[in-house]
Amino acid sequence: MTRAPQVKKSEVTRQHLLDTALALFRKRGFDATTMRDIAVASGLALGTAYYYFPSKDALLFAFYAANQVATEARVRSYPAGEPLRARLGRLFHDRIRDVAPNRTLLGALLPRQVNPGDPVSALSRESAEVRARAIALFEAAIAPEGMSIATRALAARALWVLHLAILAYLASDRSPAQRKSHRLVDDALDLAVPLLALAGTPAVTPLLAQVTAMLQRADLMTLARR
């Protein structure tokens, strides 16, 4: 009989702290919650809380990583050979499902999210690893479409930015099961997928080269690395 792998006590403690922090952030707000509040609610010493998470921002990075891991796990179960519209639909809708329980927290953090100089921003150097992994999922989703490497890189970043815009909308979506956000995904993909089909044709190659050059000059094509 094969034994299930044991989870280390340190991992259990870390997850307990993260779950407690997210619950407090949702209830009290991010700014109003202190590390001491989190330690007390977790039943742990303040020093223990700081050992696992040196700051509240560190908790946010753990939250981002956990959502990314959840989405990557979903993607591994996707059926092979689906049309592009179906592949992207699964990915966008699953991102909404993974983030939706914490949309109140997301809304409170939106001003920080759009500031590249803020460490917790989706555009910051500190969030580069999670950002690269997120962009990679979009790049993998469009890989079977036969685009050039440069075109695929550009399209993946465009889809990633689109998903950020939809998550910003999600933050204030109070419709049942976030129905409006899911509808927005479908409407957006109805527009985006035909454009992606055109992106692989020679007729638009000069335009794509011009757009790529513009983004490179603005240092936006290196988003996945910096």
pLDDT tens track, the chain, 226 positions: 445 455 588 899 999 999 999 999 988 888 999 999 999 999 999 999 999 999 999 999 999 999 899 899 999 999 988 999 999 999 999 999 988 988 888 888 888 888 888 998 888 888 889 999 999 999 999 988 888 888 888 889 889 999 999 999 999 999 999 999 999 999 999 999 988 888 767 777 777 777 777 767 766 666 555 5
Question: Do residues 22 and 102 make contact, with C-beta atoms less than 8 angstroms apart?
Answer: yes
**Structure confidence at residue 221 (pLDDT):** 60
C-beta of residue 173 within 8 angstroms of C-beta of residue 180:
yes
Provide the pLDDT for residue 7: 58
Which tokens in the block code for residue 190?
Answer: 């109805």
What is the structure's pLDDT at 5? 53
Residue 106 pLDDT: 87
pLDDT (0 to 100) of residue 222: 64
Where does CATH 1.10.10.60 sit in the chain?
9-54
Q: How far apart are alpha carbons 78 and 176 in whole angstroms?
A: 26
Q: Give the whole-angstrom CA distance, residue 184 versus residue 171.
A: 13
- 9-54: what fold? Arc Repressor Mutant, subunit A (1.10.10)
Predicted pLDDT at 4? 47
Helices (H), the chain: 9-28, 35-42, 46-52, 56-76, 84-99, 103-113, 128-142, 149-170, 179-199, 205-217
Pinpoint the residues of the chain covered by CATH 1.10.357.10: 63-217
What integer pLDDT is reported at residue 199 of this predicted model?
77
Strand, helix or coil at 4? coil
Question: Which fold would CATH assign to domain 63-217?
Answer: Tetracycline Repressor; domain 2 (1.10.357)
User: Is the CB of residue 44 less than 8 Å from the CB of residue 17?
Assistant: yes
The confidence score (pLDDT) of residue 49 equals 96
pLDDT for the residue 1: 47
